[in-house]
Structure 1
Amino acid sequence: MEFKNVAFGPTQTIKTHNSDGSILFRLNSELKPFPETITDRLREWSIQQPEKTFIAQRNKEGIWQELSYADIYQQMCSIAQNLLDMGFEENDTIVILSENSLEHALLALASVHIGIAYSPISPAYSLVSEDFSKLRHCLEKMTPKLVFVQSEQAYTRAIQFIKNTFPEVTILVSQGDNFTNIASWRQSVFCDDVAQAHKKVKGDTVAKILFTSGSTGLPKGVINTQQMWCANLQQITQSFPFMQEQAPVFIDWLPWNHTFGGNHNFGLALHNGGTLYIDDGKPSSKGIEETVKNLREISPTAYFNVPKGFEMLIPYLEKEEQLRNTFFKNLQIIFYAGASLAQPIWNKLEELAIQTIGVKIPIVTGLGCTESGPSALFANWGGAFSGLLGVPVAGLEVKLVPLGDKWEARYRAANVTKGYWRNPEATLQAFDEEGFYKTGDAVKFLDENNPDKGLVFDGRIAEDFKLSTGTWVNVGVMKTKIISSGSPIIQDVVIAGLDQDYIGLILFLNIEACCKLTGHTTQVCVSELYEHSSVKTFINTWMNDFNAHATGSSTSIGKVIIAHEPPSIDKGEITDKGSLNQRAVLSNRKALVSQLFSHYE
């Protein structure tokens, strides 16, 4: 079956073997010029297409509130003037505590336009956390002069914490009466001070700090310079040139405090003069309804999501013909990241596309990280498969370094971070002697004799471990197989077995899928649900089938335990995007690990 005709960038590569045993791998295509600052494009589009909608979001009445490129540019400058009037000094920064919103976008753009570093902090650190330990850590690192809070009511606890702990900080809100409201800034008069401040902003000026939870669970602030962000947007666009041929339309929920939503998706819309509709939904039992409501109205040209988001969307696409028609009508690519896409979900998306428009939509992904802004590799062609990472973006060197029986991917390019914010020790450890960023991702060539076929994921080097037999367990690859084969019941998994005789699993189950299997409602007690005979039968049957295809102790499962408590953000077990931290879960749930290996059943 044919794929939709989509313009992709070149994939010819150059592979060089070094004398030290490492391999250099790059695209045989140069990086084209890119803007010096992220708001240069905004100014261009505000002149070339002033009335075109840049960002839109539903208001309380459910009506789309649209801001054009001219609107955004004018309001950005007005807010920037107010920031200048506050007298920011060199070490002063801005912190944003907000979900994705029009006000969030305006303040972020105003900050980078005049060279004030800002940081969008995960809303979960304010809204879900009980002890505010991560919020405190981020604020101490940032030393903000201004903290923007979207809703005074929703963030009441966080605001009180900030007032008590950082009394010198100015609070700015979008909704509320007790602090300065950003609405008064959006239409205020600005003068030449803003233009003069912008002239001082250069490629090496810090644009934003994105905090990412490392293996210890403590957030590290990744420095994103103007050059890093702008270079990566050009690299992505060269990989997907159809975005230049037709201005993109995105409907997107991915949070801007993460690099996927905040750098990649928001940035691509701006870089290519497109339109970004903010989706206030997300992949949850309630949030998916909002997402589907939006997709009934908006036809995206590219759709970005995490695997769970696609999994939850499929039942709606299967039931609603009109939704399918709207969704697939203008779609050029389906893009997933954050985890591997289970093959049954992949197959169903292709099946629905064929049913609706007669051809497959290319399903693509790649490899990257917050430190690479985020994109480093793309499998930018039809016919890819889960686990295929593709080839490097233009202008990026990938060094493959042998570590044991693995190859670690390391990056050097204009889109790679200079280090971690106010953390010289972590910065020093993150780079090798040649200035390559050490990702910790293991990769290998799909075809050693044809590097143009790209790299495939081979796990996380720090997560792999040896059994007592001395056999290595490839955690990343095994995790992908477990989630793919156990979908939709098995939502995520943590793999244990260091120095043990067998592999043990801590399973995190999908409550909605379990309820569907057992006939319960989501109000049922989790313990009762997980102990239900239907769930137990599914897990036992799945485990037997999985082990029937195993090739030895490093790929077979000895025992599983179902985690009844969901992963904790406070303990660093999960991000608000839903990614599990293997090391943190094993550290925090030692009792479960002990049960896994207390005896063999």
Structure 2
Amino acid sequence: STAYSTISQDFDKLRHVLDTLTPGLVFASDATRFARAIEATVAADVKVVLGTGSIEGRSTVAFSDLLATSATPAVDAAHGAITADSIAKFMFTSGSTKLPKAVIVTHGMWAANLQQMNQSMPVLAEEPLVLVDWLPWNHTFGGNHNFGIVIYNGGTLYLDEGKPTPKGMAETIRNLREIAPTVYFNVPTGFEVIAQTMKTDAQLRKNLLSRVKMFFFAAAALSQPIWDSLFESAEREVGERIVMNTGLGMTEGCPFCVAVNSPDVQAGDIGVPTPGLELKLVPVDGKVEVRYRGPNITPGYWRNAEATRDAFDDEGFYCSGDAVKWIDENDLNKGLKFDGRIAEDFKLSTGTFVSVGPMRAKIIAACAPYVQDAVITGINLKEIGALLVPTPTIRTLSDLPESASLHEVLASAPVQQHFQQVLDKLSAESTGSATRVARAHLMAEPPSLDKGEVTDKGSINQRAVLQHRADVVNALHGGTLPGTLVPRH
């Protein structure tokens, strides 16, 4: 993982990855970029292959030398020995609150899932694919899903050096002005910036919408206002809406498991199981957990028998920890909608149960396009709070120069006034303590990758933020946190 190797400062997760896999060879594309991580984590007896450069004091092999190696019959023999049960790769979980686990991905799993995707999304096989994609290959969305569909169906994959950050999205927008994808995948943070930019950027609208047949988002919830904005731009430019697809997946499912099956879809809908996958809905702690069994589900975690045993129930279904409910109880063919992570839900000190997933979605929608995510607080306390993770767009509210710090932007009168109005509106619409945000705070300190508060695809982990920012949570609910907003009624 580039994030573990270049962004991380302590390399704890990278060291754990290497200890788990005990590789005989480690490849790095650039010696200068990865030398520090290699020196900190790779044992001296492990062969290191470099795309460019060298590491002082360490024996390495040039990748060009490997490419010059003549193939022998052993290559064909190894290829011929591959079966459906052969391991294709290991994909590590994000490790947001614990050290990452190595998910076993077999050739059979990956092949089955790619065929499942084609049957759930026929557009993938209708014409040669063109993707413009930033998603990291060490994550299942980029490395199994997007990379896989191009290999399976044929097409062109342009590597986008952007990412869903203020600086990175500028590169993504530039690429999408030049290269027109046939389908486009991103996380909600990326779609938020694209939706905002398309309102005023005619070249982006013209090129991005010229031949795209489907948008697809995953990894987090996309707020309905952003969804609506994408539809409005498409109707304005090409006279019709571009299909927005989404679903529910996981690294252990390779990742595609559930997807919407109708154009009449709303934020939070995830749809129906992909062909060949069995779902079991199990009541857990007042919610309904979705469990999976099928050809795309992992056999377990590498060198972690305990985690593997705990992940499956007595009928062999993988326990996802995701809660779902029916979109329409009178028409089950419409499928399911996401109802949060079971482990994230909690009770107030009054015994009132708080459903975090729907609460987050409601807050994000009300704050769009200025908030990426909301961390819900109040475990064993008398009321709900929210730590708000701002998007770059929030700067447009402040009327401050670009040189202003994020602290200054968030503390500015226009920003505070806007979010005061949002909080007042949310309070007026609440039905009780389980749905009322009693206090909120805009976070100037970005989530930390090293602490597991954010993954390399930009997803915020609730439990990790609550764990590492306990002092902020205490100050928020104790009334001593500067910049705290409370409803005026």
The interval holding the TM-score normalised by the smaller chain is over 0.9
In structure 2, distance between residues paired with 1:343 and 1:466: 27
Among 311, 316, 328, the alignment partner of 1:430 is 311
**1:7-65 deviations in Å (ceiling 9; x for gaps):** xxxxxxxxxxxxxxxxxxxxxxxxxxxxxxxxxxxxxxxxxxxxxxxxxxxxxxxxxxx
- 2:458 matched residue in structure 1: 578
Compare relative contact order (CA 8 Å, sep 6+) and give the higher one, 1 or 2. 1
Are 1:217 and 1:584, in contact at CA under 8 Å, matched by a contact in 2? no
Q: Does 1:147 align with 2:18?
A: no
Deviation at 1:225, TM superposition (A): 0.9
1:288 paired with 2:163, answer no
The reply to whether residue 596 of structure 1 matches residue 473 of structure 2 is no
Letter in 2 for 1:243: L
- For the 8 Å contact 1:217–1:571, the answer to whether it is kept is no
Shift of 1:261: 0.6
Instruction: Classify 1:207/1:599 alpha carbon distance in 2 versus 1 (closer, same or farther; 3 Å).
Output: same
TM superposition shift of 1:214: 4.0
| Distance in 2 between residues matched to 1:318 and 1:161, nearest whole Å | 47
Distance 1:515 1:263, change over 3 A: same
In structure 2, what residue type is equivalent to 1:570? D
Partner of 1:329: 210
CA contact (8 A) 1:460 1:476 kept: yes
- Whole-Å separation in 1 of the counterparts to 2:122 and 2:68: 36
Residue 439 of structure 2: aligned partner: 559
The residue number in structure 2 matching 1:276 is 157
Contact 2:288 2:325 in 1 (8 A): yes
Paired with 2:133 and 2:447, the residues of 1 have a C-alpha distance of 25
Which of 52, 63, 70 is equivalent to 1:189? 70
Equivalent position to 2:200, from 292, 316, 319: 319
1:222-281 CA distance string (max 9 Å, x none): 111111111110000111112222121111111111100110000001111122111111
Aligned residues: 477
Q: Which letter does structure 1 place at the counterpart of 2:357?
A: G
Label 1:278 to 1:417 Cα distance change in 2 as closer, same or farther (>3 A).
same
Aligned 8 A contact 1:362 1:381 in 2: no
Deviation, structure 1 residue 284: 2.0
Give the SS at the match of 1:492. Answer: strand
Equivalents in 1 of 2:311, 2:426: separation in Å? 37
Gaps of 5+ in 1: 1-121
Structure 2 counterpart of 1:381, one-letter code: S
Q: CA deviation at 1:177?
A: 3.9
2:49 corresponds to which letter in structure 1? Answer: L
SS in 2 for 1:494: strand
How has the CA–CA distance of structure 1 residues 491 and 522 changed in structure 2, closer, same or farther, with 3 Å as cutoff? Answer: farther
1:534 corresponds to: 414
Matched, 1:169 2:46: yes
Q: Distance in 2 between matches of 1:135 and 1:267?
A: 24
- CA deviation after TM superposition for structure 1 residue 299, in Å: 1.6
* Displaced runs of 4 or more, over 3 A: none
Which residue in 1 is equivalent to 2:141?
260
Residue in 2 aligned with 1:347? 228
Q: Indicate which of 273, 286, 294 corresponds to 1:405.
A: 286
Query: What secondary structure does 1:491 align onto?
Result: strand
Q: Deviation digits for residues 93-150 of structure 1, max 9, x if unmatched?
A: xxxxxxxxxxxxxxxxxxxxxxxxxxxxx21111111111111111100101111111
Residue matched to 1:377: 258
TM-score (norm 1): 0.77
The letter for the 1-side match of 2:64 is A
Q: Residue 297 of structure 1: CA displacement?
A: 2.4
Q: Are residues 1:443 and 2:320 paired?
A: no
Distance apart, 1:316 and its partner CA: 3.4
* SS of corresponding position for 2:343: coil
Pick from 119, 126, 130 the counterpart of residue 245 of structure 1: 126
For the residue of structure 2 that corresponds to 1:144, the secondary structure is coil
1:467 partner amino acid? L
SS in 1 for 2:10: coil
Task: Give the stretch that moved more between structures: 514-523 or 549-558.
Answer: 514-523
In the TM superposition, residue 519 of structure 1 has moved relative to its aligned partner by 2.3
Task: Name the CA distance, whole Å, in 2 between partners of 1:135 and 1:214.
Answer: 11
Sequence identity percentage: 47
**Aligned partner of 2:245 among 341, 364, 367:** 364
Once the two structures are superposed, residues 417-450 of structure 1 have per-residue CA deviations (whole angstroms, 9 ceiling, x without a partner) of: 1111111111111110001000000001112232
Q: 1:323 to 1:532 in 2, by over 3 A?
A: closer
Tell whether the 8 Å contact from 2:268 to 2:338 is kept in structure 1 after alignment: yes
Cα distance, 1:599 vs. partner?
4.6
Query: Contact 2:339–2:357 at 8 Å: present in 1 too?
Result: yes
**Residues in 1 aligned to 2:307 and 2:297: alpha-carbon distance in whole angstroms:** 15
CA contact (8 A) 1:218 1:572 kept: no
1:147 is paired with a residue whose SS is strand
Distance 2:332 2:254 in 1: 24
1:484 equivalent among 359, 365, 380: 365
Counterparts of 1:9-408 in structure 2 under 5 Å? 122-163=1-42, 166-178=43-55, 179-214=60-95, 216-408=97-289
Report deviation, 1:507. 1.7
The equivalent position to 2:427 in structure 1, one of 547, 559, 571, is 547
Q: Distance in 2 between matches of 1:532 and 1:376?
A: 44
Q: Superposition RMSD on alpha carbons, in Å? A: 1.6
Contact 2:261 2:334 in 1 (8 A): no
Cα distance in 2 for residues equivalent to 1:318 and 1:486: 18
Query: Alignment partner of 2:93: what SS?
Result: strand
Query: Structure 1, residues 525-566: CA drift from partner, whole Å, max 9, x if none?
Result: 333222211221122111001111111111111111233321
Aligned to 2:483: none
